[in-house]
Structure formats: C-alpha cells, structure tokens
Structure 1
Amino acid sequence: MPSNRRAEQADEVTLRRAADAWFLDHGLPAVLRPGALVRRVWPRSAPALAAFAVFMLFSALVVQVTGKHTIDIDGQPTRTEWFVLALLILVLPAAGVTGWLVSRITSVRRRTVAATVSLVVAVAGGIVGGPGPRVIGDLIFEAVVVAIILAATACGAGSILGWTVGMTLSHLAAAGSLVIRALPVLLLTFLVFFNSPVWLMAAKISRQRLWLALVFLSLIAATFVVSVTVDRFRPLMQTQGLLDGREAQLDSTPFEAMPDPPDSLPLRRVEQLNVMFVLAVSQLAHIFVVAVVTALIFLVLGLIVLSPEVLAAWTQHGSSDGTILGMTIPVPEALIQVTLFLGALTFMYVSAKSVGDSAYRAQFLDPLTDDLRLTLVARDRYRAYVSAR
C-alpha cells in the first residue's frame, strides 16, 4: 500500500508539472498555483540566456576585429567596417534562431546544461570584448541582464513573451495579408516621404524628442487596440462557453484525464488581466511586424534615391552619417528619423484598419478565439483538479 501511494503521488506530481508547462507554453502563468512559477527557473530561462550569449559573442567578435568597443563608421566603410555592418544585421536573427532552437529542448537536464553553457559563453564574451572598455563594468552589465531574465521568467513575463512570439510566427500569413492591405498607406506616406519640410524637421529634431513623438503615437494606437480587444473578448471570458465538441483537442495533453467541473470557475482578476494582456500583445505584435516591414521599405528606398545633393537640399546640409543605439553608421541621420516616423504612422493606420478587417479576423482573431476557449476549458479542469487534492 505505501508503495502504491507513493506511485500515485509521483504520478500526480508529474501530471501537475506537465499541466504547469502547458499553461506556460500558452502564455497563461497566472493560472498556476502559488509557487509553481519559481520552480525550475534556470532551465526555463535557457532560451533567453542563449539569445543573450549570442549578443555577447557578436560583441566580442566585433571588438576582436576592430580593436574598439564602439562602432563608429564615418563616410565610406572599409572592408572591415562592411563586415561589422553585416554582423549588426545578422545578430538579431542569429539570437532569435538560437533562442528558438533551445526552446525546443524538452529535457530539463539538457535545458539546464544549455542555460549554464550560455552563461559561460556570455561571461567569456564580456571578458574578451564586452560593450564597454572595462571588464568589471561589462560583468556588472551581464549580471543585471541575467537577473532581469531570471526575474522575468519567475514572474511569468517570459512565458507571455515566448507565446506571443510563437503565435506571431505561426500566423505570419495574417501579418502578410495586413502588409498587402496596408499598401494604401504606403501610397499616402509617399507624400510624406518626398516632402522636404519633413526631412528638414527630421534633420533638426533631436532623437529624444522624436522618441517622445513615436511613443505618443504608439500609445494612441495601442490604447485603441486594447479597448477593442477588451470589448470583443470580455463576453467570452465571462461565459467561458463550451467547445461544442472540440474537447478532443485536449486529448494527449495533461488535461485529458481531468474531468470537467460541474460549473465554470470564474476567472480571478489576475487571470483576466493575464488573458487580456496576452490577447492585446499578440495583436500588437502582428501590427508591429507590418510597421517594421513598411519602415524597412522606406529605409531601402531612401538609400536608393538619396544622393549627397538631394540630402543637402532636403535637410539644409544635414549629416550623411547617423546614429542608432549609440553606434555611428553610414546612413543619414535624417533618413533614420524619417523611417522611424513613417513606421509609427503605419502602426497607427494598421491598428485602426485591423479592427474591422474581416480577412484579418478570419486568419488570426478567430483561431486566437478558439485557442482561448480551449485554454479556458483546460484551466477549469486544472483548477478543479487542484482544489480536489
């Protein structure tokens, strides 16, 4: 009998941990019981640590190639500086792919090893060639970043971010259709792009004031999306309707053997906030992708059409070099500023257009609604199962 009891307890612990992992994978950490989020923080942080290690590795490579801890490229780049520019373009995709590959590791032991190796690589990169000239300062910077990663994992923010990225990548078709339907705004913003007063403003305004303007415009769009999302999904959260025969989607999940409770369990306030945050962020992430693609189109267009004479005429002899993230690169500062501004305008336009876009709703919002229904049923089963133990 004692051995049977121990086996049952072991099976129960395994089932709970599998259910916890399922909710984390679906971006709903608020559903978990107290204390579950702080377990296995180190292996769960492995994807973010791996991505950070790639950044530090690229930083060390840049320092070794250039012999400097800063990137300052004036005028025509040399062969070495072209190599550095290529590294700058590749570092973000490389970090993303590395984090994604590590996230696919299911073994806790292997994830622990991956997290430890990533930390070692990051520390080595900071010592060999961190972002600053002082090793102590670089190590302190790394310690702060690692602490932020662990804290975000422990509070569930990493789970929400990972689910949002996965949802965005899995529904790129919806984002692509938004890009196509955003072509009218491209035609409209052409009038802004080929407008010398806009270029003069971009050349004269400080980057701090520009960021304030971008944040202001983005907050307006985000507020609109959030308010519409709350109105659209609040009835679903209140009713927690049945899946109409789609409960079979929970087969082969930890909730397969958990019975449905007699009545739906009302969502707690923190769970409601978690659901609304995930829904809003997933939509804003799609819209952000469209805005970034549009901004890149104008950036490339500017690099094609801008000549020293045109730049001088539009900006009253503005600088042919620009700064981004503290790095000086051979791209006009005015072009960088105009690109950011047009990206913010596109973000606002697509935010408003996506609300009433039937194709976008069918390609993205309807699957998102189905996923939410499934998650709420799993949540009811999980809460009933935990309360009965």
Structure 2
Amino acid sequence: MFGDDERWLRAHGLPAFVVRHRRASQLVARTAPFILLLSSADLGAWMIDHATVSLNSSSPLAGLGALLLTGLGLIVLLLTPIAAFLRSGAWLRSAPRGMTVAGWMLLTYYVAVAPWLAGHPPAAGSSPPEGTGALLGTARAAITAGLSLAATGLGLGSLASWSLRSAIRQFKALGELTTRALPLLMLVVVVSFFSRTLWEVTNAMSPERLAGVVAFFVALGLIFIVPVTRRETVGLENAGPPLSRLEQLNVTTVLVLAQGFQVAVFSGLVCLFLTALGQIAFSGAVLDAWLGPGREQLEVAGIRFPVDAALVKTAVFLSCVSSLNFLISATTTASYRSAFYDPLFEDARQALEVRAAHLAPAGRKTGPEIVVEWE
C-alpha cells in the first residue's frame, strides 16, 4: 500500500517528487479512471450515432421520453469518470487490490470486448474481410491503453486528476473573487465596454480571429507568470534534498496551472457580467446604429441563443484584458496577493516538507539549504 506521503504528493499533482522506483507502482489501478473515461466517451459517441429521436405531434410524450433518457444516459457517462477521478485517491487507500482488479477488468473490456461490441465498421467504399474492422479497433484500443499506462507512469494522470480537483476548488472561491477582485478590476474595462470603436472591431472578428486574440493574452500571461513562479519557488526551497530538473518543472507547472484556473474563473465571471450588462444597457436601436442592421445572434453547435454575437465577442475580449490585469495584480498588490497568490505557495512549501520526509528513508541527504540541481 502507498505511504501517506506518496499518496499526498500524487494527490497534489507532484508525481515527480515520488522516489523513482515507486513511480510505476499500482500502475493499472491508477490508470483505471482514465480507461473508464475512454470507455464512456466511446459509448457516448456510439449512443449519439445510433440514437434517433423524433417528436411526433400525435404522440410527443414517447419522443420526449426517449430524448430525456438519451440525455440522462449521456450525463451519467460524463459524470461517472469525473467521479472516478475525484475519488480514485480514496479508493486506492481503502481498497488497493479492488482498484487493481477493477483496472484490469476495464482494460480487458476496453481492448478486447468494446471493439467487437461496437463493430468498428470499416470506412465507406472499402470491403475488408469480416471482422477486420473489429481487429483494427482492438489494435487501436491496445495502443491507446498502452499510451495511457505510459502517461500514468510518467505522472500525467496524477497531474490531470489534481487539475480537475483544483479547478473545482477555484469555483468554490467564486465568492472571494466576486467581492474582492471583480468590482475594482471591472472599473478598468467598463468604460471601454461603452466604446463604439471597440464594438466595431470585435464585431468584425471571426471566431478564429477571436480565438487567436484569446491565445495571445494566454501567451502574455504565461510570459509574465512563469518567471515569477520560478523565482518564488527558489525562495521556498529551504528543506530537503536539491530539486532535480523534473521536480522543478513539476512544481512550477502545478503552481502555474493553479493560477491559470484562478484566472479562467475570473475571466468567466467578467464575461458573464459584461454580457448581462450589455443585455440591459444596449437596445437594439443602439446596436443597429453602431453596427448596422442584420446583426448575428450567438450560435453554438448549431443552437441559436437570444444573445447578440457582437456582445459576446466584446465581453470575451474585455474579459481577457481584465484577466491579465488580475494576474498581475494578484502577484504584485498586497491585498490580492494575500488572498489569491500566497495560499498557493503555502501548499508548495508544505509539498517540499512532505518531499523531504518522503525521501529521507531512501538515504537522501536533507539539510537546511536547498540548491536547484540541473541534471
């Protein structure tokens, strides 16, 4: 069974801190949630491809019931692997052998059973021998399962599981973000929100160009936060053996991702606030005068929403601007730093202490000073 320190490090997205010979321990059990996710995705895709729901005016209840059942099945398929990711640590602690057995069963189903149940029909126009499609599906599933096991052994599974839990924790901090950060930082963008020139620019953006603008702001944020985070982690290295290159990369990645989740939640809040404000403040006549008649409505996956597309584009653009401002303020302004930034580095400091305790039995030398070790 895993030691408490090893479980703690994996749960906090720090698999590189685990001693080298233990990184592949209980590999199948730890890969099981991801195999469940792959199986659920395949089953959900099969349901969408094969489900035909029609609402007949003579008997609408039957069609509506089939639609609700299909939607419920898809929701269950979505939530089951998420719950497995969130609870996998507790299950490994309480029933490690059971998790291993479940992992092998999922692997067997995904590789040897699911391709034959689905049939994996060949591409249109080809006529391979009967069963070749299922054999190809089995080969693809085996390669995918092998890559999944390798990724888990490298620690990507622990990092993904931690990322999901961290994102959920950031949603729990919505109250703090709303009351402390949102009101002041919104002042920066509200004035620009009522600028006709900005609306004309954002309205002319295609979805691809807008995505490029978002990516540009993400790159700016990374250029700013990665060096700052690296400097901060050097100051935390006050106990235990030197960090290797991989361990330094791991702790920096975790801290940058945690801050990224904060920024993403804040950006979503700003976007929702501006969209609601625009719906209230701008009449159709004003937008017609600014942008001309025949404006596009927001359309996502073929579904039209009663929201002006230009409004959403403007809200997305300004949310990127305010999010970059929030990121800089969270690292430089004392009040924001104590609320949003310092707690992340308290976790990092605790991680280094756990790492020192984890490596001590293996004979690694620990001491009061830490020097980054580049291997």
Q: TM (normalized to structure 1)?
A: 0.67
SS at match of 2:225: helix
Deviation string 1:267-305 (CA, Å, 9 cap, x unpaired) is: 222222222222222222222221123223344556677
Partner of 1:111: 99
Mapped partners of 1:336, 1:139: distance in 2: 44
Q: Identify if the C-alpha distance between structure 1 residues 110 and 371 changes in structure 2 by more than 3 Å, giving closer, same or farther.
A: same
Partner of 1:71: none
SS at match of 1:265: coil
SS at match of 2:20: coil
Q: How far apart are 1:330 and its partner, in Å? A: 0.7
SS at match of 1:45: helix
Partner of 1:100: 86
Deviation string 1:334-374 (CA, Å, 9 cap, x unpaired) is: 44533432332232121012113444443454443343333
**Structure 1 unmatched ranges of 5 or more:** 1-13, 69-77, 241-263
Mapped partners of 2:304, 2:116: distance in 1: 27
Partner of 1:291: 267
Mapped partners of 2:116, 2:269: distance in 1: 32
Partner of 1:387: 363
The letter for the 1-side match of 2:303 is I
Deviation string 1:153-173 (CA, Å, 9 cap, x unpaired) is: 221122223334434544656
2:249 matched to 1:273?
yes
Task: Tell me whether 281-290 or 96-105 shows the greater mean CA deviation.
Answer: 96-105
The answer to whether the Cα contact below 8 Å between 1:214 and 1:344 also exists between their aligned partners in 2 is yes
Mapped partners of 2:140, 2:267: distance in 1: 31
Deviation string 1:167-204 (CA, Å, 9 cap, x unpaired) is: 45446565532333222333443444444444443343
Mapped partners of 1:112, 1:311: distance in 2: 60
SS at match of 1:374: helix
Partner of 1:163: 162
Mapped partners of 1:370, 1:141: distance in 2: 43
Mapped partners of 1:127, 1:113: distance in 2: 22
Mapped partners of 2:187, 2:117: distance in 1: 49
**Structure 2 unmatched ranges of 5 or more:** 55-62, 125-132, 365-375
SS at match of 1:322: strand
Deviation string 1:76-113 (CA, Å, 9 cap, x unpaired) is: xx989x97999999987776445324453222333345
Q: Identify if the C-alpha distance between structure 1 residues 110 and 342 changes in structure 2 by more than 3 Å, giving closer, same or farther.
A: farther
Q: TM (normalized to structure 2)?
A: 0.69
Mapped partners of 1:220, 1:189: distance in 2: 18
Partner of 2:236: 236
Partner of 1:319: 296
Mapped partners of 2:206, 2:227: distance in 1: 32
Partner of 2:59: none
The letter for the 2-side match of 1:109 is R
Partner of 1:371: 347
Q: How far apart are 1:52 and its partner, in Å? A: 4.5
Q: Identify if the C-alpha distance between structure 1 residues 270 and 208 changes in structure 2 by more than 3 Å, giving closer, same or farther.
A: same
Partner of 1:213: 213
The answer to whether the Cα contact below 8 Å between 1:60 and 1:128 also exists between their aligned partners in 2 is yes
Q: Identify if the C-alpha distance between structure 1 residues 274 and 187 changes in structure 2 by more than 3 Å, giving closer, same or farther.
A: same
Q: Identify if the C-alpha distance between structure 1 residues 18 and 233 changes in structure 2 by more than 3 Å, giving closer, same or farther.
A: closer
The letter for the 2-side match of 1:157 is L
Deviation string 1:187-227 (CA, Å, 9 cap, x unpaired) is: 44344444444444334323222222211111112222222
The answer to whether the Cα contact below 8 Å between 2:177 and 2:266 also exists between their aligned partners in 1 is yes
The answer to whether the Cα contact below 8 Å between 1:43 and 1:115 also exists between their aligned partners in 2 is yes
2:20 matched to 1:34?
yes
SS at match of 2:297: coil
SS at match of 1:266: coil
Correspondence list, 1:167-178, <5 A? 167-170=166-169, 174=173, 176-178=175-177
The letter for the 1-side match of 2:251 is V
The answer to whether the Cα contact below 8 Å between 2:23 and 2:153 also exists between their aligned partners in 1 is yes
Q: How far apart are 1:118 and its partner, in Å? A: 6.0
SS at match of 2:91: coil
Partner of 1:152: 151
SS at match of 1:105: helix
Partner of 1:248: none
Mapped partners of 1:303, 1:59: distance in 2: 36
Deviation string 1:314-348 (CA, Å, 9 cap, x unpaired) is: 3652432524xxx2221354445334323322321
Kindly report the root-mean-square deviation, in angstroms, between the aligned alpha carbons of the 2 structures: 4.5
Partner of 1:226: 226
Q: Identify if the C-alpha distance between structure 1 residues 328 and 311 changes in structure 2 by more than 3 Å, giving closer, same or farther.
A: farther
The answer to whether the Cα contact below 8 Å between 2:230 and 2:252 also exists between their aligned partners in 1 is yes
Partner of 2:129: none
The letter for the 1-side match of 2:184 is P
The answer to whether the Cα contact below 8 Å between 1:295 and 1:339 also exists between their aligned partners in 2 is yes
Deviation string 1:228-259 (CA, Å, 9 cap, x unpaired) is: 2222331221x33xxxxxxxxxxxxxxxxxxx
Correspondence list, 1:183-194, <5 A? 183-194=183-194
Partner of 1:328: 302
The letter for the 1-side match of 2:97 is R
